[in-house]
Amino acid sequence: MAAESTGTSGAYAAAGVDIAAGERAVDLMKRHVARTRRPEQVTDASGFAGLFRLDTNKYKDPVLATSTDGVGTKVMLAQQMDRHDTIGIDLVAMVVDDLVVSGAEPLFMTDYVACGAVVPERIAEIVGGIAEGCHQAGCALVGGETAEHPGAMEPDEYDLAGAGTGVVEGDAILGQDRVREGDAVIAMGSSGPHSNGYSLVRSIVDRADLDLFAHVPELDGVLGEVLLTPTRVYAKDCVALTAAVEVHAYAHITGGGLAANLARSLPDHLDAELDRSTWAPAPVFGYLADKGGVGREDMEATFNMGVGMAAIVAADDAERALRVLSDRGVPAWRLGTVTAGSGRAVLTGEYRGA
């Protein structure tokens, strides 16, 4: 966890970079990072790089998988609410839940936090959330960077990004080529909008003049806090599911919605027929649609609508898959079936309770 530093330059401080604050931020975040340690980590006293030993005895043909992402404009909502302890979980989820789509187990992550001014306690909160996300995913946080950008960002502004690495056995890589007609599509429930669609969320909040600090009865909570609900981390659950049943593919439901993301995991000659009546989207989606005057087509093209991850499994394993996920505390249901087609995911019917 490095903070930008060039020594103890008074001129640098006058330019807006507080080296002492950066060093204090590093000290505060160390206890969070320590929670994520895995036995494969190798200590590098210099702190310039994170080292991780790959256990080649564990794999016959290890293939490394990598992913990088950010949180998008959800960070602006965190800044408005002055709540910074969960946005890091969103970051980790966006990275590791992409990795597991290939069948990979996430091993480690690095992060990058850019801010207008280093406030040590705030940086520690952000990194604490990243560490919590890594803990949930079972991966190590092996390093990162905190950079102070005075002039480019306002003092209370920040943004964050991360990169993750995982490993999968060469003959166990999941994807389109494994999907078969008749396979079952299993949905895993989301915790809310996750980290996608927040430009539209903020637009709705502004246009409808909504108060982020107001309690909303139909959401059973404060609006801003509901919207900041962290992204569900599916990584460990997907790794466990892959070990227990015949999984053919996963789809991480992010920007573009359920149909577009699931179609990425289908071969050109197969479709996924999905039934809306198998679930009821969380109230937050209906609230946003109503306050923003957003139609179903646009909602479904922007938000996950309650499905954060989908698994395509062998038909005979569908019930077992549901039991595995239920035992792990993941809301899950049979969403649809793979049929002959042209590589599309098609939603039919009406949402439960609509």
Task: Report the alpha-carbon distance of residue 338 to residue 182 in Å, rounded.
Answer: 5
167, 199, 225 - which closes a domain: 167
Are residues 218 and 331 both part of a single domain?
Answer: yes
Are residues 160 and 285 both part of a single domain?
Answer: no
Give residue-wise pLDDT tens across range 141-179: 998 899 999 999 999 999 999 999 999 999 999 999 999
Nearest Cα to Cα of residue 250 among 69, 338, 261, 162? 261
Are residues 53 and 154 both part of a single domain?
Answer: yes
CATH number, domain at 71? Answer: 3.30.1330.10
- Reply yes or no on whether the pLDDT at 210 is more than 70: yes
Are residues 133 and 264 both part of a single domain?
Answer: no
> What average pLDDT does range 12-34 have in this prediction?
63
DSSP lists the bridge partners of residue 67 as 164
**Domain-located, residue 221:** yes
Task: Report the alpha-carbon distance of residue 187 to residue 83 in Å, rounded.
Answer: 30
Are residues 342 and 201 both part of a single domain?
Answer: yes
Whole-prediction pTM value? 0.90
Whole-number CA gyration radius for the chain? 21
**Domain-located, residue 3:** no
Are residues 124 and 208 both part of a single domain?
Answer: no
Least confident window among 4-13, 125-134, 223-232, 248-257: 4-13
**Domain-located, residue 187:** yes
CB–CB of 29/47 below 8 Å? no
Quote the DSSP letter at residue 219. G
Token digits for 100? 């597991």
Task: Report the alpha-carbon distance of residue 76 to residue 99 in Å, rounded.
Answer: 26
- Reply yes or no on whether the pLDDT at 17 is more than 90: no
132, 167, 202 - which closes a domain: 167
Q: Which domain holds residue 283?
A: 174-346
Q: How many folded domains does the chain comprise? A: 2
Token digits for 140? 């190590």
Nearest 5°: phi and psi at 338?
-85, 130
CATH number, domain at 251? Answer: 3.90.650.10
24 pLDDT tier (thresholds 50, 70, 90): low
Are residues 322 and 342 both part of a single domain?
Answer: yes
Helix axes 87-99, 74-81, angle to 10 degrees: 160
> What average pLDDT does range 221-234 have in this prediction?
98
Are residues 185 and 327 both part of a single domain?
Answer: yes
Are residues 133 and 184 both part of a single domain?
Answer: no
